């Protein structure tokens, strides 16, 4: 029977709908039907987007960075867009490389929605799915605001960055870049402006959609762990303890495999993002404080202040998503262990009690998402990153003065 015929599959489609729109646009949504033609089109789309980002943004941004290396303010202006572009390229490569693992995760999610469940279990899954949809909606809105500020304002002659003869000609572009041709004449300027705008829109979609996907799969795991905890609470009272224990072990193993697949896809990406956050948050903080302490602050464009503030908010929100999601999955994993510990195992016969010990021992190992299999994504890590970045911001300000 086709999986799409199951009633629960409609819930799955609804749960992943917003994530699918963004990832399909950039060719990163895996083809669930495994159609060769659809897969070829997605691969072609990813290749085209990679080439556009590389030649319209990445390479010109790096060339511009080399030209302004002697001016720290211009360097920071450059890095606040160059580093995100590098991270986006990393996300694009990893997500395309891990399509098989991603397809496996989505199939497991679809199966979780498809299998028969009581209303309380479905309500738990819907609760976490609504949270995931809210997060992705907020992500798209914040990213849309940043794109509007970065593209629309410069179009009307309102810059959001510091302009310089080193990097800008008579007609400044939205982003600091160096091209191997004169961008002032028409239609070169209009075409370059258009290509920068399209590229940054696609880059914003990749950046937000991949992060939202991480949030989706982690929140789905939290829902499954919550249901599993309730399943364990009723296990001791089951008439057929062996069958209940076997089902619990199978569910636990499946959740462990699901979490390991998440780790396989996102671990390297998260390591790059943690490093990126530490650097860019430090640069944003330095830039914002530098603008605020400028004696000629009244001459600083309001659009520039808005862009830095929006950039800081988006950066904090995305990093909070990574660490907060990691904290959630760890907490729910610990709750599963506590649920096993709270069972009336001492009322069982000795054979069943010994069997339960194996599940308890395995559950004692925490569910955890890490950055590069080194740094656990928790709120403690988030606070540590903020503290370290603030320290380096102070160091930059002291040396700049």
- Judge whether 272 and 377 are in contact, CB under 8 Å: no
Which pLDDT tens digit goes with each residue over 199-216?
989 999 998 899 899 999
What digits encode the pLDDT tens for the residues 308-331?
A: 777 778 788 878 888 888 899 999
Q: Is the pLDDT of residue 33 over 70?
A: no
Report d(CA 370, CA 396) in Å as an integer. Answer: 29
Can you tell me the mean pLDDT for 228-233?
A: 85
Q: Which helix (H) or strand (E) holds 375?
A: strand 375-376
Q: Which of 145-154, 160-169, 372-381 shows the lowest per-residue confidence on average (mean pLDDT)? A: 160-169
Instruction: Please tell me the pTM assigned to this model.
Output: 0.87
Helix (H, G, I), strand (E, B) or coil at 76: helix
Lowest-confidence region among 73-87, 180-194, 232-246, 372-386: 232-246
Helix (H) or strand (E) holding 191: helix 188-233
> Would you give the distance in Å from CA 43 to the centre of its chain?
21
Tokens representing 97 are 């490389």
DSSP characters for 298-324?
GGS-HHHHHHHHHHHHHHHHHHHHHHH
């Amino acid at each position: 029977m086709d999986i799409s015929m199951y009633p629960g599959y409609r819930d799955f489609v609804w749960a992943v709908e917003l994530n699918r729109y963004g990832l399909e646009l950039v060719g990163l949504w895996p083809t669930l039907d495994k159609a060769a033609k659809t897969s070829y089109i997605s691969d072609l789309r990813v290749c085209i987007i990679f080439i556009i980002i590389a030649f319209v943004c990445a390479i010109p941004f790096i060339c511009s960075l080399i030209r302004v290396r002697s001016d720290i303010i211009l360097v920071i202006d450059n890095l606040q867009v160059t580093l995100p572009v590098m991270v986006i390229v990393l996300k694009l490569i990893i997500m395309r490389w891990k399509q098989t693992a991603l397809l496996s995760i989505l199939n497991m999610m679809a199966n979780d929605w498809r299998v028969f469940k009581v209303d309380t279990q479905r309500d738990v899954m819907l609760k976490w799915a609504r949270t995931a949809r809210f997060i992705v909606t907020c992500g798209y809105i914040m990213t849309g605001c940043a794109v509007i500020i970065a593209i629309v304002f410069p179009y009307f002659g309102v810059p959001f960055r510091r302009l310089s003869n080193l990097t800008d000609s008579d007609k400044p572009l939205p982003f600091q870049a160096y091209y191997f041709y004169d961008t002032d004449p028409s239609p070169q300027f209009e075409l370059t402006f258009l290509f920068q705008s399209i590229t940054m829109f696609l880059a914003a979609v990749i950046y937000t959609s991949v992060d939202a996907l991480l949030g989706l799969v982690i929140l789905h795991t939290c829902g499954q762990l919550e249901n599993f905890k309730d399943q364990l609470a009723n296990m001791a009272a089951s008439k057929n303890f062996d069958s209940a224990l076997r089902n619990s072990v199978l569910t636990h193993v499946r959740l462990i495999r699901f979490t390991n697949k998440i780790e396989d896809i996102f671990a390297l990406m998260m390591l790059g993002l943690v490093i990126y956050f530490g650097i860019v948050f430090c640069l944003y903080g330095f830039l914002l404080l530098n603008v605020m302490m400028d004696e000629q602050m009244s001459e600083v464009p309001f659009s520039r202040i808005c862009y830095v503030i929006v950039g800081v908010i988006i950066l904090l929100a995305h990093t909070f998503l990574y660490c907060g999601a990691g904290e959630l999955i760890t907490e729910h994993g610990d709750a599963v262990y506590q649920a096993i510990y709270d069972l009336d195992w001492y009322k069982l016969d000795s054979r069943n009690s010994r069997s339960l010990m194996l599940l308890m021992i395995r559950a004692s190992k925490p569910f955890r998402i890490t950055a590069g299999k080194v740094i656990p994504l928790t709120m403690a890590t988030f606070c540590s990153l903020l503290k370290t970045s603030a320290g380096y911001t102070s160091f930059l300000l002291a040396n700049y003065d």
